[in-house]
Chains A and B, each alone.
Chain A
Amino acid sequence: MVLGQNHISLSKFPHDKIMVIAHRADWREAPENSVMAVKKAIEKGVNMVEIDLALTKDSVLVLMHDNTIDRTTTGKGKPSDYTLEEIKKFYLKDGLGVPTQMRIPTLDEILDTTQGEIFINLDKAFDYFDLVYPVLKKRNLFDEVLFKGTATYEEFNRKYRAIKNDIHYMPIVRLANHEGWVKINDYMNHYKVYGFELTLGSDESHMINFKEIQKSGARVWVNSLWPQQSAGHHDDLVLENPDAYEWFVKNNINSIQTDRPKELIDFLKRKKLYSPVK
């Protein structure tokens, strides 16, 4: 294998294309947060998978969305109730709640799958930063992974001053929850953010001019998962209207976290707004 051939770069992802992020990886095709769900996302041409981390009793990072393993696995309780060996005995459930033959993956197993193929958005990763950072450093993956968090710039800087310039970070700004330009400007004046994740509320009354954010070089990320995050413009609308994502384009949003990656990619390809990761 030629070194560098498989390199993918968040820094180089084109700004005039819309980034497609699959929520909990491609959970329609395979159990959420599973290796297969990541593989399916790669097959579809998704740019980034959003995954959730949790810690086992013996401090191994695994993928898990809920606080307990009850909904998505054959086990019960918190991830931290089990060692890796113990938690690996459980099976992941499919979207019907029926057990599959698949197991809870570790972060390492996921990185083996994503490395050089697809970007990662680590949700809740800051809780485990001391564990995640060395793993990414060793694998040289800082340009493939996007961190995010709700912290103000001051909190962020206090905690992560030493490494903040090594990583890609995206502050979450809750526009419908009294956050806005103050938080955004605070970041933009002090730090090169990768983008802002903006939660909009269920109507357009909290919208701001995203063009201003894009001009600064930061990406504008909105979740199309549920109506209350995207001013009512959620994924299921695409089932009736293939151009439902036009609203995001019009409003200068260039990163969309979706539960319908297939339909979103189809739309973006038609509009020449899609770019593969390599």
Chain B
Amino acid sequence: MNHYTLQNIKKTSFLLGLLIAQVALSQTNYFKQRIPENKILVVAHRGDWRNYPENSVKAIEGAMKLGVDIVEIDLQKTKDGQLIVMHDKKLDRTTTGKGEVSEASLAEIKPLFLKNGAGMPTREKVPTLEEVLNFVKGKRIMLNLDKGWDFIEQVRLLTEKTGTTEQIILKGNKKASELKKEVGQKLDHIIYMPMVWPEDYSIYKRDEVINPTEYIRDFSKMFSPVAYEVIIKDDSPKADELLTLIRDAHAMIWINALWPELCAGHDDDKAMDNPDENWGWIIRKGANIIQTDRPEELIRYLKSKNLKYED
């Protein structure tokens, strides 16, 4: 092989590399491309927590290996104003430490170890949001930041600093008009999904619960969200009506399979023995995105039906 050809090959592979990098980059926000109507995205609640500590970098990496599309993680703020990835307000359950997160500095939290599902310490540490953002940057994964809206200014700064703004999904239950007033430029390039509660739900008794139809109409008009999260406590005509309304607005539907009260009793644990009666029910209701505590089994099920979203 002469020198000239070698150069060409080098050049070609360099260009090919660039192309691959670009394709990979465009894949980090699935909602920028058309997602086929019959394909389902899988959200892993707190990451692959069965195999790694919940809300750890390893749990996000584990979920990615399973083929998960979105990982839901939780945020808390330390005494010195740092955002860390943790569900509880207290350190006790998930770490070797004790007490409120808001009363501990990041320097005090960093030496702690995360515990596994049996309550035993592992070698993993509590990650900051920034560490997690740096980890996911450019990879085929999106993050749903629970409580992200509570810390929107800081989240914005960190996602911009790390170049991950397009990989972030926020959710909330403010009315569209309220959100419009607050939001300004804050949501530019960040995906926001309104949460819809068709039934009276013990922890939320806001306007949109009383009049969810208007809530959806307003949102569709003002924001045209790519998706709505729908909490279906009971299998009721009212829930069906709202699901139709969302579909008619060409938005996607996100349903949580985590617990019975989020999916009219068709939850992950029941799906272990009867997937068609449970995950199948959620899909028949029109879900395009399913949040699960059983990502491995859900993905296997979706693949068996040729329903898993791939890009």
Contact = CB atoms under 8 A, between A and B. Distances in A.
A100 interface: yes
A28 B54 contact: no
11 contacts: A29-B50, A32-B118, A95-B50, A95-B54, A95-B116, A96-B45, A96-B54, A97-B88, A226-B120, A239-B58, A259-B118
Contact of B50 (A23, A28, A100, A101): A28
A24 B293 contact: no
Interface string A20-36: 00011001110010001
Contacts of A27: 117-118
Contacts of A102: 269
Contact of A94 (B87, B117, B120): B117
B156 interface: no
Contacts of B123: 236
A71 interface: yes
A185 B260 CA distance: 55
Contacts, number: 46
A100 B260 CA distance: 9
Given A28-B50, A95-B49, A96-B46, A71 B259 contact: no
B122 interface: yes
A259 B116 contact: yes
Contacts of A259: 116, 118, 120
8 A-B pairs with the lowest CB-CB distances in the bound complex, closest first:
A95-B117, A28-B50, A27-B118, A97-B93, A32-B118, A96-B54, A71-B119, A95-B49
A28 B88 CA distance: 20
A96 B117 contact: yes
B47 to A, nearest CB: 10
Contacts of B54: 95-96
B269 A101 contact: yes
A102 B268 CA distance: 13
Interface in A20-64: 23-24, 27-29, 32, 36
Main secondary structure of the interface of B (DSSP, over half): loop
A225 interface: yes
B117 A225 contact: no
Interface of A: 23-24, 27-29, 32, 36, 71, 94-98, 100-102, 225-226, 236, 239, 259
B236 interface: no
Nearest to B53: A95
Interface of B: 45-46, 49-51, 54, 58, 87-88, 93, 116-123, 258-260, 269, 293
Contacts of A239: 51, 58
A23 B118 contact: yes
B269 A28 contact: no
A239 B59 CA distance: 12
B263 to A, nearest CB: 13
Nearest to A66: B119
Given A29-B50, A95-B49, A236 B122 contact: yes
A42 to B, nearest CB: 14
A272 B49 CA distance: 30
Contacts of A225: 120
B49 A96 contact: yes
B192 to A, nearest CB: 25
A226 B118 CA distance: 12
B118 A95 contact: yes
A101 B269 CA distance: 8
Contact of A100 (B87, B93, B269): B269
A86 B122 CA distance: 34
Contacts of A226: 120-121
Nearest to B265: A101
Nearest to B88: A97
A27 to B, nearest CB: 5
A233 to B, nearest CB: 14
B260 A94 contact: no
Contacts of A100: 269
Contacts of A24: 118
A102 B50 CA distance: 17
Contacts of A96: 45-46, 49, 54, 87, 117, 293
A202 B119 CA distance: 20
B122 A94 contact: no
Contacts of A23: 118
A36 B103 CA distance: 39
Contacts of B122: 236
Contacts of A71: 93, 119
Contacts of B93: 71, 97
Contacts of B46: 96
Nearest to A30: B269
